[in-house]
């Protein structure tokens, strides 16, 4: 990656960066002023031309999503997904804590483009300090005339609210999020109808991720060609990456999507290598739900296309979980399986039962009572979960399947070695306890 000038994180580290005064002194809300002189359709077109893809996991083109709204709609909502429950993702939190007005400006411009009358920013309940920071920024924006009636004399009105979730991973899914805002249990909805037609309060709705909307002001201000000058076809624009685990410098970093996973871990601009000189054993490059790669696959590009070539579900949230050589792969499998078994909403039988059984099998393997056929059973189960095989309402079970499947496939020899070394009396003890 060539020399890179931060865009999304440009205000991080600036004194009092959460205030309206500092944000405006550094060029903030100039993009909004420009957008309000355009037509909503012109704003949509510039975002489409920039090929901005959603940063929340699926990577769907944001401008294209906006065009799905019915032309004859009378009321529109914008929902901003700040749930960020994907382990170990914290890029949205960094943006909200350090530069809340960037999100507010992106929200207002996107609401104007879609002609939304109200925007709901959905925050993960554990974001206590970010909530207060964002609320203060929203209050400042109202006082300055950036929210409310007749924004900056444009004739456009927008109300903005923060809605705090109840701590459910499933509410990162857009229809589960919508159900939660409506005050109901976070159950994803059967689609169609899609949110663009029948979303929040049964009205046309757009749902976008925090990082996605933070890109919008920069696209409007600098243009689509500038945005597409960063990265390459299909993976344009600035991107935030997280790195955690036994790296020397865990954190949230910004770059273009031409960096590799190896660079994210070892480059001095990012993770700065492994602690205590330990070797990499495995990495979950996009949060745990996208799947795992081995140490031989670290030259994978962190873009929207290369992860699929390595058997992953996608780029996901671009948050890398690094596993070092000392970790027992059985413990990794059990921990991942446990997370999805706990977070399944239980609405779809194959997800509710499948994630639970995968967790129990993973427990048995870790406890020294695994069987070779358990590995085949896990692989079979993952093939029968999710939207991709057409068996679930939402993508949580796809996200549960890919890490389990890739762990078993890529580390099968290690699992088999552990199984061969098991003590027969231990196997009998664990199996007896299960009965």
Residue 4 inside a domain? The answer is no
417/135 Cα distance (integer angstroms) = 54
**Residues contacting 72, CB < 8 A, separation 6+:** none
Quote the number of domains for the chain: 3
- Measure Cα distances from 361 to 290, 346, 376 in Å: 21, 19, 11
Q: Return the structure tokens found at 177.
A: 């999020």
Residue 186 is predicted with a pLDDT of 92
pLDDT of residue 388: 84
Domain match, 337 and 220 both: no
Q: Do 379 and 402 have their domain in common?
A: yes
Q: Are residues 75 and 168 in the same domain?
A: yes
Q: Are residues 318 and 339 in the same domain?
A: no
Q: What pLDDT sits at residue 431?
A: 62
Question: Within a domain: residue 273?
Answer: yes
Residue 213: which of 99, 55, 91, 20 has the closest Cα? 55
Q: Which two tokens stand for residue 212?
A: 């996605």
**225 falls within a domain:** yes
| Domain end call among 176, 201, 229 | 229
The answer on 385 and 287 residing in a single domain is no
Residue 434, number of CB atoms within 10 A of its CB: 11
Same domain, yes or no: 316 and 394: no
C-beta of residue 278 within 8 angstroms of C-beta of residue 326? yes
- 174 and 290 share a domain? no
pTM: predicted TM-score of the whole model, two decimal places: 0.94
Residues 108 and 53 in one domain: yes
Of 229, 264, 298, the last residue of a domain is: 229
In a domain, 9, yes or no: no
**Sole residue written with tokens 């994978």:** 300
- Residue pair 18/250 in contact by the 8 Å Cβ criterion: no
Q: Is residue 61 located within the same domain as residue 87?
A: yes
**Residues contacting residue 53 through CB under 8 Å, at least 6 positions apart:** 59, 60, 61, 62, 235, 236, 304
Helix axes 329-343, 349-366, angle to 10 degrees: 150
Polymer length in residues for the chain: 435
Residue 192, preceding peptide bond in cis (omega within 30° of 0): yes
State the pLDDT at residue 387: 86
Tell me whether residue 14 is in a domain: no
Residue 11 forms part of a structural domain: no
Q: Are 399 and 426 in a shared domain? A: yes
Q: Please report which helix (H) or strand (E) contains residue 8, including its range.
A: none
CATH, residue 51: 3.40.50.11540
The CATH code of the domain that includes 422 is 1.20.1440.230
* The pLDDT of residue 36: 98
Whether the CB-CB separation of 95 and 102 falls below 8 Å is answered with: yes
Contact between residue 73 and residue 66 where contact means Cβ atoms under 8 Å apart: no
Residue 15 within a domain = no
Q: In this structure, what token pair is assigned to residue 226? A: 């500038």
Gap between the Cα atoms of 74 and 148, Å rounded: 19
Domain range for 415: 329-434
The tens place of each residue's pLDDT in the chain, 435 residues long, gives: 567 899 999 999 999 999 999 999 999 999 999 999 999 999 999 999 999 999 988 889 999 999 999 999 999 999 999 999 999 999 999 999 999 999 999 999 999 999 999 999 999 999 999 999 999 999 999 999 999 999 999 999 999 999 999 889 999 999 999 999 999 999 999 999 999 999 999 999 999 999 999 999 999 999 999 999 999 999 999 999 999 999 999 999 999 999 999 999 999 999 999 999 999 999 999 999 999 999 999 999 999 999 999 999 999 999 999 999 999 999 999 999 999 999 999 999 999 999 999 999 999 999 999 999 999 999 999 999 988 888 899 999 999 999 999 999 999 999 999 999 987 766 666 666 655
Indicate which CATH number applies to the domain containing 264: 3.10.20.600
Q: Which of 229, 261, 295 is the last residue of a domain?
A: 229
**286 and 313 co-located in one domain:** yes
What pLDDT score does 4 carry?
87
Within 8 A by CB and 6+ apart from 325, the residues are: 278, 279, 280, 281
Predicted local distance difference test score (pLDDT) of residue 427: 62
Going by DSSP bridges, is the β-strand pair 235-236/231-232 parallel, antiparallel, or unpaired? Answer: antiparallel
Give yes or no: residues 266 and 182 share one domain.
no
CA–centroid distance for 4 within its chain:
23
Residue 127 lies in a domain: yes
């Amino acid at each position: 990656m060539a020399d890179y000038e931060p865009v999304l994180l440009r205000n991080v580290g600036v004194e009092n960066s959460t205030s309206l005064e500092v944000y405006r002194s550094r060029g903030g809300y100039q993009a909004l002023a420009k957008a309000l002189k355009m037509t909503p359709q012109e704003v949509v077109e510039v975002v489409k031309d920039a090929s901005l893809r959603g940063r929340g996991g699926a990577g769907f083109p944001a401008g294209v999503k906006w065009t799905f709204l019915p032309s004859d709609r009378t009321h529109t909502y914008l929902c901003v997904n700040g749930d960020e429950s994907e382990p170990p993702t914290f890029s949205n939190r960094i943006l909200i804590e350090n530069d809340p007005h960037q999100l507010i400006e992106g929200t207002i411009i996107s609401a104007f483009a879609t002609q939304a009358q109200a925007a709901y920013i959905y925050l993960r309940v554990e974001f206590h300090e970010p909530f207060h920071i964002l609320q203060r920024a929203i209050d400042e924006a109202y006082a300055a005339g950036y929210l409310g009636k007749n924004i900056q004399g444009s004739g456009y009105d927008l109300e903005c609210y923060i809605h705090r979730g109840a701590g459910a991973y499933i509410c990162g899914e857009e229809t589960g999020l919508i159900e939660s805002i409506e005050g109901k249990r976070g159950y994803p909805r059967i689609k169609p109808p899609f949110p663009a037609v029948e979303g929040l309060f049964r009205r046309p709705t757009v749902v976008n991720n925090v990082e996605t909307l933070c890109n919008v002001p920069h696209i409007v201000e600098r243009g689509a060609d500038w945005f597409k000058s960063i990265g390459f076809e299909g993976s344009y624009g600035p991107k935030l990456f997280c790195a955690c685990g036994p790296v020397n410098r865990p954190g949230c970093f910004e770059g273009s999507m031409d960096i590799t996973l190896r660079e994210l871990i070892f480059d001095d601009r990012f993770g700065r290598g492994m602690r205590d000189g330990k070797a990499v054993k495995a990495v979950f490059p996009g949060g745990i739900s996208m799947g795992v790669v081995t140490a031989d696959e670290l030259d994978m590009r962190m873009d929207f296309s290369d992860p699929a070539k390595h058997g992953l579900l996608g780029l996901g949230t671009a948050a890398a979980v690094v596993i070092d050589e000392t970790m027992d792969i059985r413990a990794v499998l059990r921990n991942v399986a446990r997370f999805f078994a706990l977070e399944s909403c239980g609405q779809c039988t194959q997800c509710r039962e499948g994630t639970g059984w995968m967790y129990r099998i993973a427990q048995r393997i870790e406890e020294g009572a695994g069987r070779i056929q358990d590995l085949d059973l896990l692989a079979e189960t993952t093939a029968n979960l999710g939207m991709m095989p057409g068996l679930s309402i939402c993508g949580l079970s796809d996200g549960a399947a890919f890490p389990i499947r890739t762990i078993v496939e890529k580390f099968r020899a290690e699992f088999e070695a552990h199984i061969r070394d098991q003590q027969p009396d231990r196997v009998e003890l664990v199996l007896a306890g299960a009965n």
